[in-house]
Structure 1
C-alpha cells in the first residue's frame, strides 16, 4: 500500500514515466496538479498556487509542505473523497497510519491545516477539516544534534594540512562555523564583500533563515585564517559579488569560480572529521551546539548567546545547551549496581 502511495505521489510531481501518469493532469511548466485539486475547479487551482508558490517563501519549507499535502491528497483520492467531503476523521486516520516521528507528523498536520485554511479563504470548501485535529504531544527539551567537544574541535582544526589553498579554505570554513555559530548554509552564502574591515575590526555579514542579515565581529585568529585563505587563493581583491569560498578542480588544488554549496561544505566537514578520527555522527551543526554550550557554561547571558546564534526565541537557544546532559551523566555514573 505504501509503495503504491509513493508511486502516486511521484506521478503527481512528474517523476514516473509518462505511461504511468495518464490519470494526472499536467499544468504549465510540466508541473502537475493533484487530482483532487484539478477536479475541484479554478478556485482550488488558484488556492494551490497561492499557497505553495505565493505564501511560502523558504524553498525548504515549500518542498516539505508540498510533499506532505500531496501525500495527504493521494490518501484522500484513494478513499474516493473530493475536497468538500474531507473530514476531520480523514485527517486523523491519515496521521495515525503514518509511520513518522511525532515531529514529522506535526509538520504534516501543519501543512494540511494551513493549506485547507487557504481553500476556505478561496471558498473552495466551507470548513477546515484539519482545524480541530490535534497533533501528538511533543516536548523537546534538548536538540538531537550531537555535540563536538572542545578537544575534538581543536583536534580537527590542528589536523588540517594548511600548506595549500584547499587546507586553508577548509580551515577558514570550519573556524567560521566555530567562532560565529553560523549555520553551514549561511557560510556557503557568503560573498567576498561579506568579509570586510570596519577600521577597528573585521566583520562577517551573514544572510540567514527568515531573510535575516546579521553582522558578526571576527576575532583575530579567525581574521588571520580567512586572510591566509584569500591570499593563497589570489582572491583578496576579488569582486565583492563573487563567492567567498570556491570549489576546486578535482584534486588539482586550484580554485574555480564556482561557489561551494552547503552540501559541498557538509561533505568536506565529514571527510575532515573522518581523517581526524572523529565520530561519524558529528556534522557541521555540531559546531553550533558546542559554541552555544561553551558560552553558556562560561556564564555569558542567554540573551547575548541568543543574539549570536540568531534565534528569535530564547527557547530555541536552550535546545542547543548540553550542560544538563553532563549533569545527567554524572548522576548515572554514581549508580552503585
Structure 2
C-alpha cells in the first residue's frame, strides 16, 4: 500500500501496506518496541479487512466497531484469557493514529476510528502487578545472592529498575556513553517515551552495582551498556525473565506475573509513601500527565494519607495544644 499522487494534490493509497505504515512510523517519535507493536496492530486490522474483502480506505466506524468487538472476544494464547480492555484500546489507538496520518495525506476523508465505540479504560487502574517496598528489597537481595558470569550485570540492571523506575526499553537502550556526571551527581542519560531526552541520577547503590559490572563488561569501551557474553545488546525479554527468576528465588508470590514494569510501579508507590511530591515523581518517571503518575501510586487510597489528618493536626498546633 503505497502513497501515490492524485489530482489537485490529493493522494491515494495503493500497493504495499508496509510502505504506508513505515512512512507513518517515520513521521513519529517512537521507541522501537512501540514501532513493533504499531506495525503488528495495523497488520492485524489489514488482515481482518482482507478476510472480509473490505477496502480499509472505505472502512466506516461500524467496521471498526465490529473489529473491536472481535478483539474483545479473542483469547491471548500466552495468558489463556481474553484480551483486556486496555489492550483493545491500545490497538485501536495505534490504528487511529495510522488513519490520522492518511487523513493528513488526503488518502481518506475522515478517521473511521474516531467515531468508533472504544472500550472504557479507567485512568485510575493499571493491570501491572505491583510490588511492595519489602518485596523490592527481597528481589534486590536475591540479585545480590545471584551467582554466575552474568551476576554483576543482573545486579546492575535490577538496581537501575528499582532505584530509578526506568522503563525496560530505557534500560536496555542505554549505551556506555550515557553514563556520566553532572554538578556532583552521577547520572544516566537516555531517550524516554515520546523521543524526549532525559537524565536521572544514580543512587550510591545503583552506581556501585554499575561500576562493579563495568569492571567485567565483556565488550569494548563504548556501545551498548548491558551486553551478553557475545557483546550483543541485552533485549527486553531477557530482563523479563531475570525479574521473574529473581522474584521466584526471593519467594515472592505471583512471580510468574511480574515484569520489569512492576518495579516501576513500586518506585512510584514507595516514593509517594515516603512523602515525595507528586510533581517530583511525575518528572522522575517522565509522565506528561500527573494522572498517569497517580495510577502508578498503588498506595494512593491508603486512609493513613487522608489530608483530613494533616489539617486536623495543623489545627491542634494553632490552638497551642
TM-score (norm 1): 0.72
Stretches of structure 1 that go unaligned for 5 or more consecutive residues are 1-32, 249-255, 329-337
Distance 1:61 1:164 in 2: 33
Corresponding residue to 2:141 among 148, 153, 158: 158
RMSD of the TM alignment (CA)? 3.2
Change in Cα spacing, 1:107 to 1:216, as seen in structure 2 (3 Å) is closer
Distance 1:257 1:315 in 2: 40
Corresponding residue to 1:139 among 114, 122, 141: 122
Indicate conservation of the 8 Å contact 1:183/1:288, yes or no. Answer: yes
Partner of 2:226: 245
Greater C-alpha radius of gyration: 1
Partner of 1:259: 233
- Larger deviation, residues 107-116 vs 133-142: 107-116
Deviation at 1:231, TM superposition (A): 2.4
Indicate conservation of the 8 Å contact 2:161/2:167, yes or no. Answer: yes
Partner of 2:267: 291
Corresponding residue to 1:201 among 185, 201, 205: 185
Distance 2:267 2:101 in 1: 41
Instruction: Classify the secondary structure of the residue corresponding to 1:173.
Output: helix
**Does residue 43 of structure 2 align to residue 89 of structure 1?**
no
Indicate conservation of the 8 Å contact 1:84/1:126, yes or no. Answer: no
Distance 2:243 2:13 in 1: 45
Corresponding residue to 2:242 among 268, 292, 316: 268
Distance 2:217 2:290 in 1: 39
Distance 2:96 2:217 in 1: 50
Indicate conservation of the 8 Å contact 2:123/2:292, yes or no. Answer: no
Deviation at 1:183, TM superposition (A): 1.2
Change in Cα spacing, 1:243 to 1:73, as seen in structure 2 (3 Å) is closer
Stretches of structure 2 that go unaligned for 5 or more consecutive residues are 74-82, 305-321
Deviation at 1:316, TM superposition (A): 0.9
Aligned residue runs from structure 1 range 172-187, under 5 A = 172-187=156-171
Change in Cα spacing, 1:87 to 1:283, as seen in structure 2 (3 Å) is closer
Distance 1:217 1:192 in 2: 15
